[in-house]
Amino acid sequence: MRLAALFIAFALTASGQRHKIDEVNSEKPEGKLLQQIMQENDAAKKAALLDQFAGEYPKHEAAPWVLEQLQAIHVKNNDAEKTIAAGDKLLALDPDDPEAAVQCLKAAESRKDAAAIKRYSGMASAAARKLAATPEPKDETEAASWKSQMAYAKGVDQYAEYALYRAAVESRDPKVTIDLSEALRQRSPSGEYAAKVAQPLFVAYRLAGDQPHALALAETVVATDQSSEDMLLVLVDGYMQQKKEPEKVHTYSAAIVQLMAKKPKPEGVADADWNAHKNQITGLAHYLNGKAYHNENAFAKADVELRAALPLVESNAAIKPEVLYMLALSDFKIQKVQEAANYFRACAAIKSPYQQLATTNLARLKTQYTGIK
């Protein structure tokens, strides 16, 4: 993808040695070993010598240089475990090395290790942002190098966010998705991937049974983006259950109906399946809006919404009887007595908690009003 290509381009600016060795004292054992490392051309033998030095002289001033070389060899060999092992040692000595962190991050991605991805994404981002905060030098020659470093730092930070986002959306464990998504949104609340992860995070909250966080997230997102029927519907239902925000119930219900009327069919979804989804969501929106109006004694408005809902909830055995019953009551209140009787009759024919009430009310209408069929 484009971000990966950009990161490769940025990484070229960091491909040179980040850690230097000022001088090598060949009279000392560690100096002799360093000389041997520098003269060795065989990658496997060189890796063994580097590993030997790192083990024998972990606090030597040349240790960061050694570990950088060692990690690079493991990266080239696609050895994720050893890449991380060398990177951990290097980051312990130099936590501000973004390249060491990002190589560990890539290795963690190859292993699909969510915890490690989160850890190294955070370390890479922190190091990159620290590098990006370096003030521009006044010297023109140094300024050119500084600009390259700024571009590199930006690329690392973007990749760190992307890696966290991808791991979050690819996970099939809601708890993992929640953990990674929350970390991403906390790190960059207004970032590109914080916005993209909102819908998967919302779904994960619901799968985890965390309704309060799902509602809170939906409220935040819907304030500026009303393109998710799922978030809008959960908000409407949540407000209804909590008996609050009646105006938002009506506003968001109407928004759902408008959204579904113009929303294109997603690629790969069959026409029948998409139409069924549209009808289901639209029917629920009309039903909840009508129920809200009914509870507010706005019976004429309830009648409009519930009539619109009825054909769309025809196959919903849990909702259809309630719609019929509320329609009957609403129509009775606005003096549509025969229509009220018709809806009571239809409701009475369905086994539900409303069946007996509808039967009783229908009998009363026939007693009180002549000519009722």
Give the list of residues 6+ apart from residue 179 with CB closer than 8 angstroms, or none: 114, 118
Domains of the chain: 2-170 (1.25.40.10)
User: How confident is the model at residue 5, as a pLDDT?
Assistant: 41
User: How confident is the model at residue 13, as a pLDDT?
Assistant: 43
- Per-residue pLDDT tens for 1-20? 444 444 443 443 454 568 88
Residues in the chain: 373
**Residue 355 · residue 347 · CB < 8 Å:** yes
Mean pLDDT by 10 residues, the chain (373 residues): 43 59 85 93 95 95 95 96 97 96 97 97 97 90 89 95 97 97 95 94 96 94 93 94 93 96 93 94 97 97 97 94 97 96 96 96 92 84
User: How confident is the model at residue 365, as a pLDDT?
Assistant: 94
Number of helices (H) and strands (E), helices first, in the chain?
19, 0
**Residue 105 · residue 121 · CB < 8 Å:** yes
User: How confident is the model at residue 1, as a pLDDT?
Assistant: 42
User: How confident is the model at residue 138, as a pLDDT?
Assistant: 86
User: How confident is the model at residue 8, as a pLDDT?
Assistant: 40
Q: How far apart (Å, rounded) are the C-alpha atoms in residues 153 and 146?
A: 10
User: How confident is the model at residue 354, as a pLDDT?
Assistant: 97
User: How confident is the model at residue 16, as a pLDDT?
Assistant: 56
